[in-house]
Amino acid sequence: MVYQTEPLDMCYKDIEALIHRYYEAQPNILDGMPKIEMDWEHYQTLAANNMLFIMVCRKSDRHLSGCAVYVVGKHPHYLGKCFAYCDTLAVDLPDRNKGIASALVRGASLKLKEIGVQFMTHSSRTIYDKTPLFPKLGFRLTEQTFIKELV
């Protein structure tokens, strides 16, 4: 396995395929959520403004096994502090439980620190128990996210 950063234009098709495989294999994960439709133009805008960071894990055949995608920027509540919000942390189903997610987050944290990020945030769907993963990587629980569809 090779862990590396990649620009959006080199990996967005692989990320989209991974995300679609991920959700198709677990249809109940989207209960109460809208259909997944990636807005690549928005991601391009983020990338053009140096606000997108992508760490990938590829097998020797270049198959994408996992990715961690972060939106990077100053936080409006914390003057002068740069945050990286994890937009996507995904590992292909056949490659789960092999330490790929941990390695992606560890690798991303090192690279993000190098570019001046001071804080990383992660959220996850409640269908998953990520409690063991994030504290093991040095994260602490500070907030919960609630969602309501406004129709």
Q: What is the pLDDT of residue 108?
A: 97
Domain count, the chain: 1
Q: Which domain holds residue 78?
A: 2-136
15 domain-assigned: yes
Say what the pLDDT of residue 28 is. 77
pLDDT, mean of each 10-residue run, the chain (151 residues): 96 95 79 85 97 96 95 95 95 93 96 97 74 86 83 81
Question: DSSP characters for 21-73?
Answer: HHHHH-GGGGTTSPPP---HHHHHHHHHTT-EEEEEEE-TT--EEEEEEEEEE
Q: What is the CATH number of the domain that holds 10?
A: 3.40.630.30
Domain assignment of residue 116, yes or no: yes
Would 148 be classed as within a structural domain? no
In a domain, 146, yes or no: no
Residue 77 forms part of a structural domain: yes
69 in a structural domain: yes
**pLDDT for the residue numbered 130:** 61
Rounded to 10°, the helix 40-48/8-25 angle is 140
